[in-house]
Amino acid sequence: MAIRIDIKKKMLSANGEMNLDINTTLQMGELITLFGPSGAGKTTLLRIMAGLVQPDSGHLEVDGETWFDSNKKINLPPQQRGIGFMFQDYALFPNMTVEENLAFAQDEKDNSRITELIDTFGLNEFRKRKPAGLSGGQKQRVALARALARKPNLLLLDEPLSALDASMRTSLQDEIARAHQLFGATTLLVSHDMNEVFRLSTHVVCIEDGGISKSGSPEKVFSDTSISGKFQVVGQVARIDKQDVVNIVTVITGSNMIVKVIAVDDDTQPLTEGDRVLVFTKAFNPIIKKI
């Protein structure tokens, strides 16, 4: 009951040639995020999983079934992989209504499933509408519902929320989490938003320069366990202000929280704006108060 990935692919990125080399085993049933900077190979990995991109070599196995094997010359086409894929641009078919888009996804007509999905995602009033008449958030819901219409074992979401504004994002993150609970499909989601990773996933795979740099629970991956501090946030240095004999460093965290930290010159000397930093303090310092 696992996804075994061991693939290599040479790819051309904006920074020149890059070797995608991924070797990992993921558990079925989880909501997994592929996290990393753009151009690191996250989307390519997702497309390889879907069968839309063929790796140069390696082996891909999902739930005991081989989907790709360069030695045995196996390459299952996307049609036979039993997946749901949600594209960044949603790829809703303009010639079909919401309902027809969902029905198209099914091999055998199953109206009860469509009604269930339409109810779950609150699409009832749009069911006869074509995609061009929907807002970004509504399109996203239709795309998610359509990806689930085939009852996929594996749901692949390519930066599903990147095109939406912040408030819309939060509510649709909940929608994805709910869909995962309700329909139980193993979900693989590409994201470069740390907040999203924390809100949604049980497991995160960090991809940098075509390889896996870290993998584990979001708490474990994003906090530094080699420090005994209990209060840790990761963020970016927004500014450093010299005041008196100390500096006030302003850090913006993954969840858009602003933290100000006093630091002496020795500590701020290696820092510049935009650097990723870990801010931590001990469990003894924070004061807690009911609000």
Please tell me whether residue 288 binds another protein under the rule CB under 8 A.
no
| Sheet architecture: strand order including 74-75 | 74-75, 65-69, 57-62, 2-13, 16-27, 211-216, 203-208, 31-35, 186-191, 154-158, 83-86
Please tell me whether residue 230 binds another protein under the rule CB under 8 A.
yes
Phi, psi of 112 (to 5 degrees): -65, -35
Mention every residue, 6+ apart, whose C-beta is less than 8 A from residue 136. 163, 164, 168
Please tell me whether residue 182 binds another protein under the rule CB under 8 A.
no
**Smallest distance from another protein to CB 127, Å:** 13
Binding residues for another protein, total number by CB under 8 A: 52
Cβ neighbour number for residue 219 with a 10 Å cutoff: 11
**Smallest distance from another protein to CB 125, Å:** 14
CA distances, 260 to each of 7, 229, 235, 238, 242 (Å): 43, 17, 11, 10, 13
Mask of contacts with another protein, 190-219, x by CB under 8 A? Answer: -----------------------xxxx---
Return the residues of window 44-73 that contact another protein according to CB under 8 A: 50-52
Q: Binder to another protein among 57, 171, 225, 269 (CB under 8 A)?
A: 225
Stretch that binds another protein, among 65-73, 104-112, 162-170, 251-259 (CB under 8 A): 104-112
Residue showing tokens 């190979």: 41
Distance CA 274, CA 36 (A): 16
Stretch that binds another protein, among 24-32, 61-69, 75-83, 185-193 (CB under 8 A): 75-83
Q: Binder to another protein among 8, 127, 150, 192 (CB under 8 A)?
A: 150
Mention every residue, 6+ apart, whose C-beta is less than 8 A from residue 121. 141, 142, 144, 145, 175, 179
Please tell me whether residue 17 binds another protein under the rule CB under 8 A.
no
Please tell me whether residue 87 binds another protein under the rule CB under 8 A.
yes
Nearer to another protein, 245 or 291 (CB): 245
Please tell me whether residue 78 binds another protein under the rule CB under 8 A.
yes
Q: Binder to another protein among 226, 274, 286, 288 (CB under 8 A)?
A: 226
Please tell me whether residue 262 binds another protein under the rule CB under 8 A.
yes
Pick from 26, 1, 12, 83: nearest CA to 50: 83
Pick from 212, 214, 193: nearest CA to 19: 212
Site for another protein, rule CB under 8 A: 50-52, 77-81, 83-85, 87-89, 91, 93-95, 104-105, 107, 129-130, 132-133, 146-147, 149-150, 213-216, 220, 225-230, 244-246, 262, 264, 266-267, 280, 282-285
